Structure 1
Amino acid sequence: MSSYYGDKSRDIPSWDSFENADDDDIVDTSEYAYASRDHILFCIDASASMQTPFPDVETPEGIIRGKSALHQALEAVVKIQRSKVITGPADSVGVLLWNVDPSKTPSSSTGNYKPGTHVYQSLRTINAEEIKRIVKLMEVAKDQYDNQEPDEDVETTQPEVFGETFPSCSKKEELNIADVLVTCNFLFRDAGTKLAGNKRVFLVTDNDQPPGSSHNRAPARTVYGDLLTYGITINTYFIDRPDHRFDASLYWNDILDREADDNVSKEEKASEVDGLEELAEVMNDLVIRHAPKRVQFSIPLRFGGKDGDIEIGVSGYAMISAQGKGQPKLVRMRGQTVEEVQIKTEYTSAETGAVLKDTEIGQAYQFGNESTVKNVIEPNWWESTEHQAEQQMYADEIVRLDNERRQREEEGEDEEEEDVEMPQQSQVNGKGKGKGKEEPGEKPKVVARTRLQFNPDEVAQFKSMGLPPQIKILGFQGPNHLEVDENLKHSYFIYPNESEITGSTRTFAALLKSCLKLNKHPLALCRFRTNTAPEFGVLIPQEETFNKEGGQDHPPGFHIIILPFRDDIRRPPKNMTDNLLATEEQAKLMSNVVKRLRIKAGFYRSEAYPNPALAYHYAQLQALAFEEDFDPSSPEAQELDRTYPKHHGMHRAAGDFMREWNRAIEDDDRAEERLTGGKKRTARGGGGDDDPAGDLEEEDLRDVRGMWKMGTLEKLKVQELRDWARFHKISLTGKTKKADMIGVLSEYLEKEGDGAAKKTKKK
């Protein structure tokens, strides 16, 4: 749930920090700051050691040439930037290289920055044109790298394009880390003040003793503190050289205010993940498309007393959200620029064409079967007293005629048809009123309207029932009062909102701590937004947990489960409840299958398995953005579907257990009885038209032939027609409608020799 990107648990505030008496006036809301954007600045060391390729590796398949650390780091930059076009189009990425020869650095890339730094890409919002530049650079480097033929006597060399674009400086000209951090600060400053979200520096280097590490470290500490003040964090990726293991305790732990772990042995330090491997893992996590955690509502939470004497502010977040392709934007092509169209909606009068104001537009609800709106200004004749009197006269005349007919039947007289002359409209009430006219001074009779019209305030009053948006706790109850089937909707997760009401964090923490201690959960009346109706909900407390690395695993807060009303609960279908229960042996065999097919991580990460249709859509957009060809049959396109089951691995891991479970099901007499014991059930659940006989017997079938002679085939069910056809080997392939099936069976019976029988009676 949390978007926190810290590396250590010491950076995460805990609930206990809000209980200290000395910090009454200090409120730390960093734990509740949710970020929706990510701004990354790659700060890569371009020294000679970083541009030296790693030794070649000899494998049974052949020699694998080594790549330099700079080469691998830039490949990671390209990977994240290409993915950000789709996963985070509002994010920003910049590329800064240091320890570059200042005499060969382009003047346009230096600006007011420190000499020896090369700003290859300024920190700005992702755009395809700048990404094409670095992609083209890496394509040239890949061609130069692949053109080197594997040879044991010839060592791998660095692609020439890197030496030309980022020429390394001499050992004496290498930069102090304080100057590098100052340049990073300048890049974030020049990016503007609208960088809302996570601001991070990915620092990649293999030098554990840079210039200034032995005598002057204070400037670097000062600049690092300035970065933290502006909300900029530094993620370090330290790279080991072939002949030297990186030791962060020599300089970097002191500069970055990190505590060295003295209990770690040299063997454990040697087994730590290398910076390049760690950077690759971070890239794999960053390319996952994360839905931004937007605030769904910010409302007060009231509890205590009769009317909720205690009021705090909370914000709600959606735990589950559906990801779609997104709505395309309407644009206007004007020359070489593309302008987004500003959409404006107006309502006009159908009669005059004039633009209607908001006060001239209301809401109406249909009441009854009629769909016309009553015109009170010009009364309709059908709603006038004339029409009502005429209708009453017709009814009286019909009653009179019916009474006379019954009287003749009782007296035994022959019925004779009579022509009944209905009175004309001029005869109604004995007055000669014309159609649509009313008596002078008589008000038109107003009948029930077919549509009820309300103003927006009245409609809001109906929905809200007079309650403002809030969460009002009505009481507390134990977990035994809840049922699993009462959770019908997606839940919300609420956090304290200190910006609305000061002191909300402390009160929220005390409420959560008490609920966890007493094993109780609040029952509340919730109305989340102004356009929603009140609902009852239960607040499930969640305790804060941490993972093995010390990062926050689950944040503290409440899950709001919306309780259903009485008419929302339905009984489950019989085919879900009337099932055979597995025996203990069968359950044990299936548990073996489940244990062997569990995910290694211990839990399922839905974000790691993207929607194949969306992944295919994004891949096409990415190819269009970079003007590349997209081949749906290519291996890269086939790998977009990560949800395809790995059948080979599944059978290799649990194939024996699957076969044992299948044998246990086949040996179960109950399953055999359920499938073959009931003949009608078997007939309906048997095979298709290619399985003509099965276990059917003629006495179990309906008398289709007799019903056909009587012309009542339409009274049979579709399955009964299919059973009879299957028994007599009549193909109904492609016939899905009942009338088509009856036609096929009728043709069969006619050809059989019953042509003189009565045809099927039509409806």
Structure 2
Amino acid sequence: MAPYDDWNKIDDEDDDELQDLSIFESKRDVILFCIDCSESMLKLYDDPKYEESVQTCHLYYALDAAMQLQKKKIIVGPNDAVGIILFNTTRQPDSSTKTQGSEIKRGTYLYQPIGPLCASTTRELVQLLDASFEDQGELRKEFPPLTGKSVPMGDVFTSCNWVLRDGAPKTATKRVFLITDEDNPHAGAGYRQLTTSARTTLIDLTQAGVTVEPFFINTEEKPFDITKFYSSVLVSDDLEDDNEQDDGSILPESISISRIEDLLSQMRIREVPKRSLFSIPFHLANGFTIGIKGYGLITEQKKGSYKYFVDLGDRMEVATVRTTYVDEDRQAEVDKTKIVYGADLGTSATADDDGNVEESSQNFSARGVKAGHRPFYTAEEIRSFRTLGLEPGIKLLGFKDLSELEFEDNIKHSHFIYPDEMSYSGSKRTFSALLKSMIKKKKIGLALVLTRRNATPMFCALLPQEETHDDSGWNDPAGIHLIPLPFADDMRAAPVDMAFKATDEDINAIACEWIGKLAIKNGSYPPDTYPNPALALHNEQLQASAFREEYDRSTFKDLTEPPVEAIHKRAGQLMKEWKRLLANDPSASIVIATTGSKRKADVSVDEAEIKSKHINGTLAKLRVDQLKEFLKSKGQSTLGKKDELLERVSGWLSTR
């Protein structure tokens, strides 16, 4: 029979849920850079990045980060859109032309309207940055700052809302990258009223489907304290309710950037939007349901898919690809809904033309199939085979001790689930109570999971994760990992071979010391800061081609290459000593004798070859095992000597 997925996998174009990773390519991403242009952002300082006495400002680095992100997105996300809005500036839009940002609040200026990424728009920003690099006062001339006051943040969020409303597609993922170094923009009279107004307008912005990603610049001369204003304004993603936050600090310190040069690296980490893979109900008990969203923690980033273009003479247009099914006999297109599916049972099977349907006593339809004929199923029947008649959702079955979850039970990468308050009111509070109880009692959950209508049900372990912080500011969010559990057929008994082991004295004296010197700082590996080198090189070459720039291969830096010099400097002598101990170990010269196994001779023979030898009269040249294998494949007896086998093969071939 043909492999399982060859015939029972249905392409459901009407299914609006995730079928594959194409959702990441089809759904657009819109980023609006909201950059502060205050006096502190335009203040010049000596840039240590350059050897010569070059002065830059925070606004320059913010615009440079926006430009670098646009260059990258032209390659990896050509369907995305980017815009740049500036606030705390006296520059006004041209009143003679009505553009996308002509009606925004006073003190804000839309420098780059939201639109599809293109090389010409990005080149204008590159030219502005080049001019400001030559003339340090160019940005101040281009965007004069407000003096003596600042724009209320409520007006800033309102302007962002209007720009995204007019320029962003409705189905896109909309985000605002807020960049500022002012931790208290409303210092003075009216602080409480302006803070309330800012939080209200931000809630309106988030209810419109917009996420605000803050990038706060923190320097030694001007420390950034998020508790002065932004901790009470920005919306937290914590599972706790807002009324339970009494410390006034709901934002992690990791959003503050201590070095302005790290702004671009922080943006790269948050460049990819957090899109949910599925949104399904979580059935805790009969009649007790909450909503959850599932996220993929691990996704392989690949090269962009190629597209076909049609030369229309004066222009090139993208060719649309459409799949159709054609009947070879009638040479006509076949309606996809009328196509049936069947397993491949061999060349002798023929299709059943009767199509009789009989009703059985179990209240399900059974199609009568003649002996030796192939059974067929409709797309809906195939789907029912896969889903067992279940609807997408998670059904809690019970709990077990955390110690019963073994490492080898994780055979696939897990999903991370988080409550969805928009689907079921109270989901956040209920999910938080379940999470705390599981952590407190050291329990895991067992659940029956169906993530989408075209998937296969699976049993999963619900592993709770508590929110954690460390010295670097990195934190793991609170939530539950959905770990697919293996079936009995997935478990294999691996042979256990005992190897030679170093002595405890050698391990403690040498190995632990040089391994400790090569350990990663803070004990964590941030994969977002180490891109795939092959993919990064490919994208850089495409980027240079798109902007008509010369690309120097020697400038490419592979961040995954190990620092060999630093490794030898830290632990070179210890590694040499460890190598010497291994060479002098008596077990290093022991050779384990292994017995080889004979390969079974290939006795298969092609049917066409046997027919040819039968016609030429050279059938006797075949071996006995080959004759028996042929007779066995045809359902004939394999008993007797070679003459009897030859006579039996000749008789079978003569009747064909």
**Separation of aligned partners in 1, 2:476 and 2:378:** 45
Partner letter of residue 561 of structure 1?
Answer: I
Deviations 1:450-478 (A, max 9, x none): 42211223222322334443333333222
Q: Is residue 644 from structure 1 mapped to residue 565 from structure 2 by the alignment?
A: no
| Bigger strand share | 2
**Separation of aligned partners in 2, 1:581 and 1:165:** 69
Question: If you compute each CA radius of gyration, which structure gives the higher value, 1 or 2?
Answer: 1
Change (3 A) 1:630 1:56: closer
**Separation of aligned partners in 2, 1:301 and 1:331:** 45
Q: Is residue 554 from structure 1 mapped to residue 544 from structure 2 by the alignment?
A: no
**After superposition, where does 1:18-29 map in structure 2 within 5 Å?**
none
Cα deviation, residue 615, structure 1: 0.6
Alpha-carbon contact 2:340-2:379 (below 8 Å) kept: yes
Alpha-carbon contact 2:308-2:318 (below 8 Å) kept: yes
Q: Is residue 614 from structure 1 mapped to residue 535 from structure 2 by the alignment?
A: yes
**Separation of aligned partners in 2, 1:546 and 1:273:** 10
> Aligned residue for 2:637?
none
Partner letter of residue 121 of structure 1?
Answer: Q
Deviations 1:662-710 (A, max 9, x none): 12211211111237xx5x89xx9xxxxxxxxxxxxxxxxxxxxxxxxxx
Alpha-carbon contact 1:314-1:497 (below 8 Å) kept: yes
> Aligned residue for 2:493?
571
SS for the counterpart of 2:176 is strand
> Aligned residue for 2:575?
658
Deviations 1:517-544 (A, max 9, x none): 2222222333333223332222222223
SS for the counterpart of 2:151 is helix
Change (3 A) 1:592 1:56: closer
**Separation of aligned partners in 2, 1:202 and 1:290:** 15
**After superposition, where does 1:57-76 map in structure 2 within 5 Å?**
64-76=53-65
Change (3 A) 1:321 1:248: closer
The equivalent position to 2:460 in structure 1, one of 494, 516, 537, is 537
Q: Answer with 504-513 or 332-341: which moved more.
A: 332-341
> Aligned residue for 1:280?
261
> Aligned residue for 1:132?
123
Alpha-carbon contact 1:540-1:558 (below 8 Å) kept: yes
Change (3 A) 1:364 1:594: same
What is the aligned residue count? 531
> Aligned residue for 2:31?
39
Partner letter of residue 84 of structure 2?
Answer: G
SS for the counterpart of 1:366 is coil
Change (3 A) 1:656 1:217: same
**Separation of aligned partners in 1, 2:398 and 2:153:** 58
SS for the counterpart of 2:455 is coil
Cα deviation, residue 654, structure 1: 1.2
Aligned residues: CA RMSD: 4.4
Partner letter of residue 300 of structure 1?
Answer: P
**After superposition, where does 1:351-500 map in structure 2 within 5 Å?**
351-367=329-345, 369-370=346-347, 372-374=349-351, 448-500=371-423
Change (3 A) 1:582 1:233: same
Change (3 A) 1:111 1:183: farther
SS for the counterpart of 1:295 is coil
SS for the counterpart of 1:674 is coil
Partner letter of residue 586 of structure 1?
Answer: D
Deviations 1:7-63 (A, max 9, x none): xxxxxxxxxxxxxxxxxxxxxxxxxxxx9946332434265x765643698x9x975
SS for the counterpart of 2:86 is strand
SS for the counterpart of 2:343 is strand
Cα deviation, residue 131, structure 1: 1.0
Cα deviation, residue 228, structure 1: 1.7
Cα deviation, residue 118, structure 1: 4.8
- Structure 1 length-normalised TM: 0.60
> Aligned residue for 2:648?
none
Cα deviation, residue 510, structure 1: 3.1
Q: Is residue 174 from structure 1 mapped to residue 147 from structure 2 by the alignment?
A: yes
**Separation of aligned partners in 1, 2:372 and 2:443:** 51
Cα deviation, residue 163, structure 1: 6.0
**After superposition, where does 1:566-715 map in structure 2 within 5 Å?**
566-573=488-495, 577-588=497-508, 589-632=510-553, 634-635=554-555, 637=556, 639=557, 641-674=558-591
Alpha-carbon contact 2:157-2:198 (below 8 Å) kept: no
Alpha-carbon contact 1:78-1:134 (below 8 Å) kept: yes
Alpha-carbon contact 2:67-2:125 (below 8 Å) kept: yes
Alpha-carbon contact 1:86-1:622 (below 8 Å) kept: yes
Cα deviation, residue 651, structure 1: 1.2
Alpha-carbon contact 2:81-2:114 (below 8 Å) kept: no
Q: Is residue 83 from structure 1 mapped to residue 83 from structure 2 by the alignment?
A: no
**Separation of aligned partners in 2, 1:228 and 1:616:** 39
Change (3 A) 1:324 1:234: closer
Deviations 1:495-517 (A, max 9, x none): 23334444433433333333222
Change (3 A) 1:237 1:608: closer
Alpha-carbon contact 1:362-1:456 (below 8 Å) kept: yes
> Aligned residue for 1:186?
159
**Separation of aligned partners in 2, 1:353 and 1:62:** 72
SS for the counterpart of 2:521 is coil
**Separation of aligned partners in 1, 2:529 and 2:184:** 38
**Separation of aligned partners in 1, 2:46 and 2:431:** 57
Q: Answer with 604-613 or 564-573: which moved more.
A: 564-573
Alpha-carbon contact 2:283-2:395 (below 8 Å) kept: yes
Cα deviation, residue 365, structure 1: 0.7
Change (3 A) 1:132 1:95: farther
SS for the counterpart of 2:493 is coil
Alpha-carbon contact 1:98-1:175 (below 8 Å) kept: no
Alpha-carbon contact 2:326-2:332 (below 8 Å) kept: yes
Alpha-carbon contact 1:539-1:559 (below 8 Å) kept: yes
**Separation of aligned partners in 1, 2:528 and 2:395:** 34
Alpha-carbon contact 1:94-1:124 (below 8 Å) kept: no
Cα deviation, residue 161, structure 1: 4.7
SS for the counterpart of 1:663 is helix
SS for the counterpart of 1:448 is coil
Cα deviation, residue 650, structure 1: 0.9
**Separation of aligned partners in 2, 1:463 and 1:609:** 39
**Separation of aligned partners in 2, 1:652 and 1:357:** 69
Alpha-carbon contact 1:199-1:233 (below 8 Å) kept: yes
The equivalent position to 1:348 in structure 2, one of 309, 313, 326, is 326
**Separation of aligned partners in 1, 2:435 and 2:105:** 51
**Separation of aligned partners in 1, 2:223 and 2:31:** 28
Partner letter of residue 459 of structure 1?
Answer: I
Alpha-carbon contact 1:217-1:255 (below 8 Å) kept: no
**Separation of aligned partners in 2, 1:537 and 1:56:** 53
**After superposition, where does 1:746-761 map in structure 2 within 5 Å?**
none
Alpha-carbon contact 1:98-1:180 (below 8 Å) kept: no
The equivalent position to 1:526 in structure 2, one of 439, 449, 456, is 449
Change (3 A) 1:200 1:364: same
Cα deviation, residue 314, structure 1: 2.9
Cα deviation, residue 364, structure 1: 0.8
Q: Answer with 332-341 or 293-302: which moved more.
A: 332-341
Deviations 1:121-179 (A, max 9, x none): 2244543321110112223444x3xxxxxxxxxxxxx446546644x47xxx7373237
> Aligned residue for 1:729?
none
Change (3 A) 1:185 1:252: farther
> Aligned residue for 2:281?
300
Alpha-carbon contact 1:593-1:658 (below 8 Å) kept: yes
- Structure 2 length-normalised TM: 0.68
Cα deviation, residue 564, structure 1: 1.7
Alpha-carbon contact 2:42-2:57 (below 8 Å) kept: yes
Alpha-carbon contact 1:469-1:527 (below 8 Å) kept: yes
Percent of aligned positions with the same letter in both sequences? 29
